[in-house]
Structure 1
Amino acid sequence: MIEKGKQAPEFSLPDAQGKMVSLSEFKGKKVLLIFYPGDDTPVCTAQLCDYRNNVTQFTQRGIEVIGISGDSPESHRQFAEKHELPFLLLSDEAHSAAKAYDALGFLGMSQRAYVLIDEQGTVLLAYSDFLPITYQPMKDLLARIDES
């Protein structure tokens, strides 16, 4: 994973509607990047729905949530609509963002990883789950965020 204290690498990736979104657009805001292996898989769905159900915990902390995986914009659109996800999902089909953040798993998919970036673009927290079959429960993720 990228190291705490480093400048977050810039990226531009398409969202679920195909519109390009750059990290620099969020300058002045805290951003939580959530790298995950894939749309509509059991663990990823549980994870992102858990975050959806508790999204106010992020907004109360002034944090914008952005999910990133190698799935296509169309896959993200269907996934977000099906599960009513209230945050951006970005398509990293070439895995350029996952590579830049050292969040690429051994099977060529994104690891289940989290990167909290401050208002100036500095990494405050970087964490990845060792096993892709589990995810960081909301209370544990928030505890890590609050400690950073």
Structure 2
Amino acid sequence: MELKVGDRIPNFTAKDTDGNVFDSRDFVGKKALVIYFYPKDNTPGCTTQACGFRDQYEDFKDLGAEVIGISGDDVSSHQKFARQYKLPFILLSDNDRKIRRLFGVPSNMFGLLPGRVTYVTDRNGEIKMIFDSMMASKHIPIALKAIKKLAL
């Protein structure tokens, strides 16, 4: 079942880039979140998207939001990806695709490619914006605009 605007994000845990357990409950109630699901580390579109979020990360932080990237890659892949592109935000490993299913992120290209979807939540975990597009570079300005609206 797909999450929709107005739904609360479900509680979830996953391993972060350092191999530590990330718990969504440590963030909900404290800050707005930009949670973006992407297909795979070190692919052209995913690298463009990650670097776009990296380049605007301070803008998100200044508006009180945290950026979290989620893919099916394992922790060591995330470590290399984050190190190579100097990614300052959280990357989570969803290699069993449990979080992707929890959010209802659809697959693309006849189910062959994990979808690329960005969710923006307010500080209480309520989804305020969902953007589903394989156009990697479009996610950043749309997410930033949604976060700016929350900051007003």
**Aligned counterparts of 1:143 and 1:71: Cα–Cα separation in 2:** 28
Distance in 2 separating the partners of 1:69 and 1:108 = 14
Q: Structure 1: which 5+ residue stretches go unaligned? A: none
User: What is the aligned partner in structure 2 of residue 49 from structure 1?
Assistant: 51
Match in the other structure for 2:145: 143
Separation in structure 2 between the aligned mates of residue 115 and residue 66 of structure 1, nearest angstrom: 10
Instruction: Label 1:47 to 1:90 Cα distance change in 2 as closer, same or farther (>3 A).
Output: same
Q: Is the deviation greater in 20-29 or in 74-83?
A: 20-29
- Cross-structure match for 2:5: 4
- How many Å apart are 1:20 and its aligned residue? 0.9
CA contact (8 A) 1:95 1:104 kept: no
- CA gap of 1:109–1:19, structure 2 versus 1, over 3 A, is farther
Can you list the C-alpha shifts for 1:100-134, whole angstroms capped at 9, x where unaligned?
A: 111141436531111112211211112211xx354
Name 1:31's counterpart in structure 2. 33
1:70-101: per-residue Cα shift (whole Å, max 9, x none)? 00011000000000000010000111111111
**Richer in helix (by share):** 2
CA distance in 2, matches of 1:141, 1:7: 17
> Residues 93 and 48 of structure 1: is their aligned pair in 2 closer, same or farther, counting only changes over 3 Å?
same
Unaligned runs of 5+ in 2: none
Aligned-partner Cα distance in 2 for 1:127–1:37:
15
Quote the Cα distance in structure 1 between the aligned partners of 2:10 and 2:25.
10
5 Å matches for 1:11-26?
11-26=12-27
Equivalent residues, number: 146
Taking the TM superposition and a 5 Å limit, the aligned residue runs for 1:1-148 are 1-27=2-28, 28-106=30-108, 107=111, 109-129=113-133, 132=134, 134-136=136-138, 138-147=140-149
Letter in 2 for 1:11: F
